[in-house]
Structure 1
Amino acid sequence: MNGSWWQDTVVYQVYLRSFADTDGDGVGDLEGLRLRLDYLRDLGVDGLWLNPIYPSPGADHGYDVSDYTDIDARYGGLPAFDRLLADAHARDLRVLMDLVPNHCSAAHPWFQAALAGDPAARERFIFRPGARPPNNWRSAFGGPAWSKAGDEWYLHSFDAGQPDFNWRNPEVAAYFEEVLRFWFDRGVDGIRIDVAHMMFKHADLPDWPDHAEYNILAQNQPEVHDVLRRWRKIADGYGRDLTLVGEVWVPAIDDLALYLRPDELPQAFYFDLLLCPWDAARFRASIGGGLEQIAATGATLTWTLANHDVHRTVSRYGLVSYTDGPPTRPRGTVDVALGVRRARAAMMLLLALPGSVYLYQGEEAGLPEVLDLPDEARQDPTWLRSGTADYGRDGCRVPLPWTASGPSFGFSSSERTWLPQPDWFGEFAIEPQIGRPGSTWELHRRALEIRRGIGGPLEWIPADRRDVVAFRRGDLASVTVFGDEPYAVPWGEPLLASADAGPGTVAPSSTAWFRV
């Protein structure tokens, strides 16, 4: 594993529908991304991860896949993907695909055959007879996890349009091994595995006791590790240093470590830090715990603070009063200026850590969450399945503002985008920030540039205040002040700061890097 590119890479997550549109339909496409590959190279990332772009009816905008070995024609099809891959590689940018093995679309030929009564096809999914649902499991999107099809029920851990595969059927395992080979043969550099911990369910499908927060019966089953070992063997067999990145939501860090054994996943997202509020003690405990327990496996940490499923960091860290919502999507009053300041600081802290980092599109511009989308515009299935109690994930998926004015702020030639952009989006436009000293985009670019010279293990630097997190890697020291008072640093040459302060001082709610 030593020296693998993915151990310290920075990958830019592309939610393609919302990145850049070239054909004027208000939906992002592969050509829009291809034409902005120089933008990603200039920003300083090492690669990109594409959320699912396979053919899909769009019940969950790509996470309901109807064909795993093709690209949706709305995005340009396989020819557009091949052009993107070639041009990305020409710029030394790695490309990762997103694989969805827990479930497919109800439009997938296998499920359509199952509905038509094909016995072999039905065995590829989880069907059970009965007048009532087989158990009390709930969908992650709200409502029951079972829907009726004829005289039987089928399991869907998410939307009813996303039936779960039966991973105890060897045909399912064989199918996905071929899918992996298809994309590796095509030249991709890695695969992000959606809900990698959920492929297997308890064989007896018993009731979920008391609806505990984490349904252990529907996820984190021991059999999943055998599948991931086979996939790791396939990836390693190519001799190209490919990676597999697991999306693994488990109750504890030691559970996550089980997925990162030398013959299993090379990488799995460490979500614990993403779940931390703006608090020094929580950040330090999360970083320390992750480094201690994940390092014991021989793996490196895979860090992120934002993605397509959670509120943007500006709005999470700028929350000054809480109303409702889960930790990843809290609602309440947001101080945007405070959120931007803290998000800038958190980004610098993150990029100083050992391991790999995944950045979600738009974070480099300091975009806040769009919290006030019109109800009629919302498309996340969580919104309806929760009875409109959970506002869902649409707010972090609104198409990017590239310019301060013009049709859809430069995203498309069309005024109408698949999710509406708010009037204030132009204030956070990307292109006006490029080259502007002090902008959030330039802070990202410079931090990514400096990061390439950072090396060595993390060593904590003692601080005489509880609201300060300080550590050293090689000759770089990172100091983050979580509180409201500046912090004096008696050593080091200033390199970069997320907020201005006097000489030898770190400003409140900011991070500064020093050469020591």
Structure 2
Amino acid sequence: MITETPWWKTAVVYQIYPRSFADSNGDGIGDLPGIIDRLDHLAGLGVDVLWLSPVYPSPQDDNGYDISDYQDIDPVFGTLADFDRLLAAVHERGMKLVMDLVVNHTSDEHPWFLESRSGRDNPKRDWYWWRAEPNNWGSFFSGSAWELDQASGEHYLHLFSRKQPDLNWENPEVRQAVYAMMRWWLDRGVDGFRMDVINAISKAPGLPDGEVRNGSRYGDGSPHYLCGPRIHEFLQEMHREVFAGRPERILTIGEMPGVTVDQAKRFTDPERREVDMVFQFEHVGLDRGEGRFDVRPLQLTDLKASLGAWQDGLNSTGWNSLYWNNHDQPRIVSRFGDDRSEHRVRSATMLATVLHLHRGTPFIYQGEELGMTNAPFEKLDDFRDIESLNHYAEAVAAGADPEQVLSALRVAGRDNARTPMQWDAGPNAGFTNGLSWLPVNPDHVEINAAAAVADPDSVYHHYRRLIDLRHTEPVVAHGDFTMLMPDDEQVYAFTRRYRATELLVLGNFSGSPASVPVPAGWEGAETVIANVSGTGPLPSTLTLAPWEARVHRRTGGRG
């Protein structure tokens, strides 16, 4: 039985999207030396772990998630020597480094695939999925999930871009090659892996057709490849082959679209030795209808029901990851907050408070700690992301109004998360002295790291205080969770309890004042953290200001 408390339960992870973080050589693309130059910003914030989005060699069809060599660094980001310098600098500051592991698919320029497509009799032919007659699955990036290879007359499977062919995990040689690569990185000193769409690696035997819905040309194959029949077997084998027996505790994070609470309990049960936590997508899909670009208003009660179910479901077994933002999600202050008024800072800090006080490991995406916003994309040429561009082409070809499609891209497109990090108010926000690969958000004149660090009331310093609270107050990491006011559409409220300490967390998810019934016994409780100045002990009657957040503590209650 596993009894020790893992280090990552009190940790905070910071995701770096290297292409957009810091450019050291003026080519307009972020790189590893640029990250090294900015590590003190992250150390000052207090984060414990850095997660790097892919820096491997890649044709960049999907911004690095199409990998052509798993054991090197793309020249656009630097060299292996640069990576080793970064790793050493991270460790010198007492932080850890987690790599992005993308092994559901490779690039079509990876040597494995070049061999596989070279002929039907090649020994690596079965390292990928080939079919003379493909099924009806659609790709996540629009169109068919199959591409015809003219030379062999067969189709290969790609759940994402046609330049991202899926590996065949049924082949044990594939699995052993992946495990060997993972061991190579761990031996180099990395501290773990965030595993991209890892629950898609096991496909149902025979690759059956998916159900066709809503007039689509393609079938939904996800029931046949998400959490497939051998997924637990593969992850347990990975643990035995890669992680078991290492003296240090390696962090494993499984990105798992469509995963349910019950499935996540199995994946994250320490006794099963699969992954430490999963990234689930339920809460970031609540403001969407049929797909990413069908944007709907968020209902706060839906958010509370979703996050509350995950808190309850993984309370005794397993562990939650906590996030609002990542490289695939638009900026949270633009999405669930108010980014175009005097309430940007307060709504950003309210969202941070509510998230970080849940039970689980919080993830901060670069710029989130500044309250960075969605970008003002004006025309199609401003976008870079393959998902957005493919969706636009397919939707317009099907008769959709081009301006309406563009409006949806502006709100929900992944490029919103990928605009360059805003370091200062100068040209290109201090990101580069060249031509940035993606335009810098013009609001960098106001929203930038230099200004935030200098302002004690900034979003940055609120995140710093939240991180410090997690490090110093055991109830934040280890306490239980009780949702309050589940039917209220304005206020998010809950308590955390650990031994004799309790926290009451309140967040107003609106631009209007909100009356809150103070729970019995909480009158006079001390303020731990708040985003409105002058917040004192909890009064007997309370009206929260627009976007106000506050956390109160009492001790000596239930033991």
**TM-score of the superposed pair, with normalisation by structure 2:** 0.84
* Whole-angstrom CA distance in 2 between matches of 1:112 and 1:156: 15
Q: 1:221 matched to which residue of 2?
A: 228
Match of 2:208 among 196, 206, 209: 206
1:67-113 C-alpha deviation (Å, 9 max, x unpaired):
11111122111100101111101111010000101100011011112
Instruction: Confirm or deny that 1:273 pairs with 2:283.
Output: yes
Q: Is the 8 A contact 2:127 2:171 kept in 1?
A: yes
Match of 2:526 among 481, 486, 493: 493
Residues 397-416 of structure 1 aligned to structure 2 (within 5 Å): 397-406=418-427, 408-414=428-434, 416=435
Q: Is the 8 A contact 2:10 2:470 kept in 1?
A: no
> 1:175 corresponds to which letter in structure 2?
A
Q: Is the 8 A contact 1:501 1:507 kept in 2?
A: no
* Whole-angstrom CA distance in 2 between matches of 1:461 and 1:198: 32
Q: 1:136 matched to which residue of 2?
A: 136
Distance 1:108 1:491, change over 3 A: same
Q: 1:429: Cα distance to partner? A: 1.1
Match of 1:119 among 118, 122, 136: 122
Match of 1:514 among 532, 535, 552: 552
* Whole-angstrom CA distance in 1 between matches of 2:25 and 2:144: 39
> 1:482 corresponds to which letter in structure 2?
F
* Whole-angstrom CA distance in 2 between matches of 1:61 and 1:373: 22
Helix, strand or coil at the partner of 2:82: helix
* Whole-angstrom CA distance in 1 between matches of 2:154 and 2:344: 49
Match of 1:71 among 59, 70, 73: 73
Distance 1:462 1:76, change over 3 A: closer
* Whole-angstrom CA distance in 1 between matches of 2:461 and 2:25: 29
Shifted more, 210-219 versus 196-205: the winner is: 210-219
* Whole-angstrom CA distance in 2 between matches of 1:398 and 1:94: 25
Instruction: Confirm or deny that 1:259 pairs with 2:259.
Output: no
Residues 64-463 of structure 1 aligned to structure 2 (within 5 Å): 64-117=66-119, 119-130=122-133, 134-150=134-150, 151-211=153-213, 215-233=222-240, 234-261=242-269, 262=271, 263-276=273-286, 279-296=299-316, 298-318=317-337, 335=340, 337-338=342-343, 340-372=345-377, 374-388=379-393, 389=395, 391=409, 392-406=413-427, 408-414=428-434, 416-456=435-475, 457-460=479-482, 462=484
Q: Is the 8 A contact 1:312 1:369 kept in 2?
A: yes
Q: 1:496: Cα distance to partner? A: 2.0
1:286-327 C-alpha deviation (Å, 9 max, x unpaired):
23311222234x2221111110001110111147xxxxxxxx
Q: Is the 8 A contact 1:454 1:476 kept in 2?
A: no
1:410-437 C-alpha deviation (Å, 9 max, x unpaired):
00122x1011113223221111110302
Q: 1:442: Cα distance to partner? A: 1.4
Query: How many residue pairs were aligned?
Result: 496
Q: 1:329 matched to which residue of 2?
A: none
> 2:128 corresponds to which letter in structure 1?
F
Q: 2:291 matched to which residue of 1?
A: none
* Whole-angstrom CA distance in 2 between matches of 1:127 and 1:214: 16
Helix, strand or coil at the partner of 1:203: coil
* Whole-angstrom CA distance in 2 between matches of 1:374 and 1:53: 29
**Root mean square deviation, CA, Å:** 2.2
Helix, strand or coil at the partner of 1:180: helix
Distance 1:279 1:345, change over 3 A: farther
Distance 1:67 1:155, change over 3 A: same
1:97-133 C-alpha deviation (Å, 9 max, x unpaired):
0010110001101111222225222211111114xxx
* Whole-angstrom CA distance in 2 between matches of 1:344 and 1:279: 20
Instruction: Confirm or deny that 1:478 pairs with 2:505.
Output: yes
Helix, strand or coil at the partner of 1:513: strand
Q: 1:340: Cα distance to partner? A: 4.8
* Whole-angstrom CA distance in 2 between matches of 1:175 and 1:19: 31
Q: 1:501: Cα distance to partner? A: 6.7
Q: 1:380: Cα distance to partner? A: 1.3
Helix, strand or coil at the partner of 2:439: coil
> 2:507 corresponds to which letter in structure 1?
T
Q: Is the 8 A contact 1:270 1:304 kept in 2?
A: no
Helix, strand or coil at the partner of 2:43: helix
Q: Is the 8 A contact 2:377 2:383 kept in 1?
A: no
Q: Is the 8 A contact 2:424 2:444 kept in 1?
A: no
* Whole-angstrom CA distance in 1 between matches of 2:220 and 2:350: 31
Helix, strand or coil at the partner of 2:199: coil
Q: 1:464: Cα distance to partner? A: 10
> 2:494 corresponds to which letter in structure 1?
A
Q: Is the 8 A contact 1:192 1:244 kept in 2?
A: yes
**TM-score of the superposed pair, with normalisation by structure 1:** 0.91
Q: Is the 8 A contact 2:258 2:281 kept in 1?
A: no
* Whole-angstrom CA distance in 2 between matches of 1:66 and 1:289: 39
> 1:294 corresponds to which letter in structure 2?
L
> 1:274 corresponds to which letter in structure 2?
V
* Whole-angstrom CA distance in 2 between matches of 1:313 and 1:464: 22
Q: 1:240: Cα distance to partner? A: 0.4
Q: Is the 8 A contact 1:271 1:303 kept in 2?
A: no
Q: State the percentage of identical aligned residues.
A: 35
Q: 2:26 matched to which residue of 1?
A: 24
* Whole-angstrom CA distance in 2 between matches of 1:336 and 1:28: 30
> 1:515 corresponds to which letter in structure 2?
R
Distance 1:485 1:398, change over 3 A: same
> 2:532 corresponds to which letter in structure 1?
A
Distance 1:33 1:207, change over 3 A: same
* Whole-angstrom CA distance in 2 between matches of 1:92 and 1:312: 29
Distance 1:115 1:83, change over 3 A: same
> Any gaps of 5 or more consecutive residues in structure 2?
214-218, 288-297, 396-404, 555-559
Shifted more, 32-41 versus 210-219: the winner is: 210-219
> 1:290 corresponds to which letter in structure 2?
W
* Whole-angstrom CA distance in 1 between matches of 2:344 and 2:118: 52
* Whole-angstrom CA distance in 2 between matches of 1:203 and 1:353: 39
Q: 1:500: Cα distance to partner? A: 4.2
